[in-house]
Structure formats: C-alpha cells, structure tokens
Structure 1
C-alpha cells in the first residue's frame, strides 16, 4: 500500500483502516475499533476524514431490531492508496505491443510470461507437502507481488485463494489475456492433481478475485 501524502501515526491508523476495508470489505466502525485497539470515536473521525476525501462511503444495514448499523467500504477513488504498477506506462506499452505483435504475438508473449511465473512459483511451492501449505505458499508469493492475498480453508479438502487487490488491474482491463494466463499459471503451479476455479472476479464487478482449489475428482 502506498504511503500517500500523509505521515506519522495519524496516517498509519488511516492506512490500517484502508487495509482492513480492502481485505475484508464493508465493516462497521465498532469492529475496526476493536481490532485496532482504539476507541470507536477515533475510528469514526478517521472514517469521516476519509469520506471527506472521497475514499470511503457508508450505508445503513438493518439487523432486525434496533437502529441500523452503519457499514463502511472503499470507493474506487481509494485505489490511489494501493499499488497500481505505473498504470499509464503499462497501458501505453500494452497498446503498442498489441499493435506491433497482433493477437497471435500477444498470446505468445503472455504464454512466455506465464512460463516464467510457473517456474518461479513452483520453485517455492513444490517443496511444500499438503495442498493447504502449497496454496498458502502461493498466497505469500502473490502478496509479495502486491495482491494482498490470503487463504481460507473449507474443511479438509477445499481452500480458497483470495486476492484483495490487483496491482495490474488497469492492464488486465486492457488485456484480458493476462487474467486467462494467470488462472493457467495457478493450475500448472499446483499440478494436475488439483482443480482451480475462479469463483469471484474483480473485472466482473466483484471487489476481489477468489479461486476455489481442491483435489481433482
């Protein structure tokens, strides 16, 4: 996550709030206050400041009896606080490459990039034993690359690789082949004995990308 224009502990708290909303989606201020170890009033003040700057918005959610609870979530404007991998330069390069190489050339280029990723990922994931350990290893690599990845287990056989941020989102919007290649990279990294499915997709209006991973039938 980028440091932005703010410095000091005040901004550090804001960064933590932004990070929680990015990782978890909409949350009430009370939950953030408890997890940050500060007062609800302090969290609400930070949220109000972030709202004034266009980074968050709130909505009232009814839980049945009593007053609705205010939930806070990030706006698209908040993406400025997270790594965007030099958006303008990447888009310009992609457009020139597509023009120069044509569709088949771009496919070959993406395939070559994928091969390099698979080699790098497998070198770190292959030594791990269980499927969960391998997926957690893959999540660590992806987090290092800026994807804010985490893993959730569902029983003994199923786990989910969750990527809460896409540092190449603008490039992916311009070149859908990047996402198709990414899915194939995960499949080849984890091996033929594993099935990988994308169940949530940022470019299909989800707030994140989620991959369901389980042993092949």
Structure 2
C-alpha cells in the first residue's frame, strides 16, 4: 500500500467512525483505527485543518473538558446522496406533469416493494432483536448505515445516513412511508416513533420502539 493510499484509507475510516458515532472522543477513534491516541490525533488535526472535522468540548464531572469530534457540513458531504440531482428532477417532473396523486402513488409503490422484501427476510424472525438486526443489515446494504441498540425495555433503530436525502427533502412522503413500514414490520407489540430526523438536525434518523402495553 502506498503512503498516499494509506492516508486516504485512514481519512475515510475516521470520517466513517465519526459519521456512525456522531460525537466521538479521541480514545474511541484511536481504538477503532487500531492506532495510538497520538497517531489518531495527528490524523484529526489534518482533518480539522481541512474543514472536514470540528471539535466540541464537553465537561463531564470534575476535571478538564473532554474533546469530541464531529463532522462539519463538508465532512457530511463526503457521504453523498445517491443520484441526488437526477432524483429530485424526476420527482419535480412527476409532480408538475402528473400531479401530487401520481407522486403519492410512486412513493407508495416504492415502499410496497421495500416492505415485501423486508417482510420476506423477517418471516421466520420472532424476537424483536432478530428483526432489528435483519432490518439493520438490509438497510445498511442500501446505504443507510443502520444499527440498533437497547436501553432497558426500549429499543432504538438508527440510520446514520440517508442515501435519498435530497428526494426526502423534495417530498417528505418518503419519510412518512418509511415510518409506516417500520411500524408494520416490527409488529404490534411495539409502538414505533421517530425521535430524531435527519431533515431537521442533518445527522441521522432515530426510531424509538416502546413496548405496547395495550
């Protein structure tokens, strides 16, 4: 591996780590890269100078504030929307030529196809953890960088990237359809709600799954 390629690989890996974990301390980045903290710090200095990474300091108890690294708008732009301009142009044409109803039908058909694919993969998965893991894998294959976590009896399904973000901005029907799909796929035992939205904070979508006691 050439030195230039190694540097690029480290840059891509660091940006991916911060994208996935959002506010990320130096120790976590160094651990995930498998290098020393000083080595990671040198990479981060270059990324900060390049305008891809920003530093935020947070005080946690007594002592010096801890430095956390986040992606700037330029850093987030390294994870581009898939065919954004073409997609938005097509959506605008459909709406202009055929009307809102045609656009709704297009979104409905797309989500129906996704639902059918996901439902088939989840068919024999009874436990919520299994269903979340399969769904996260499927969504990650599509570029959503999905993962799930648990806090007590509450589950969280996170999409760290949206490969159709430009389309969703143009028509938020995509987001409504996605939430509806997740509610149906994850079953009646849990109430699914979106508690973070990438269109609002620019970082990720987070869905909360709470046990339905009804």
Query: Does the alignment reach a TM-score above 0.5?
Result: yes
1:81 lines up with 2:78 in the alignment: yes
User: CA offset at residue 186 of structure 1?
Assistant: 1.1
User: CA offset at residue 115 of structure 1?
Assistant: 0.9
* 1:83-136 CA-partner distances (Å, limit 9, x unpaired): 420111111111111112211111111111111111011010121121111111
* 1:42-75 CA-partner distances (Å, limit 9, x unpaired): 2112112112222111122223443322221001
Which of 160, 164, 169 aligns to 2:165? It is 169
Q: Is the 8 A contact 2:91 2:103 kept in 1?
A: no
Counterpart Cα distance in 2 of 1:137 and 1:83: 24
Counterpart Cα distance in 2 of 1:109 and 1:215: 32
100 and 193 in structure 1: CA distance in 2 versus 1, 3 angstrom threshold: farther
State the superposition RMSD in angstroms: 1.9
Partner of 1:194: 190
Partner of 2:30: 33
- Could you state the TM-score of these two structures normalised by the residue count of structure 2? 0.90
Q: Is the 8 A contact 1:54 1:77 kept in 2?
A: yes
Counterpart Cα distance in 1 of 2:106 and 2:100: 10
Partner of 2:56: 59
Give structure 2 stretches of 5+ with no counterpart.
Answer: none
User: CA offset at residue 7 of structure 1?
Assistant: 5.7
Give structure 1 stretches of 5+ with no counterpart.
Answer: 1-5
Counterpart Cα distance in 2 of 1:115 and 1:7: 45
Structure 1 ranges of 4+ moved more than 6 A: none
Partner SS for 2:77: helix
User: CA offset at residue 194 of structure 1?
Assistant: 3.4
Q: Is the 8 A contact 1:83 1:146 kept in 2?
A: no
- Could you state the TM-score of these two structures normalised by the residue count of structure 1? 0.89
Partner SS for 2:132: helix
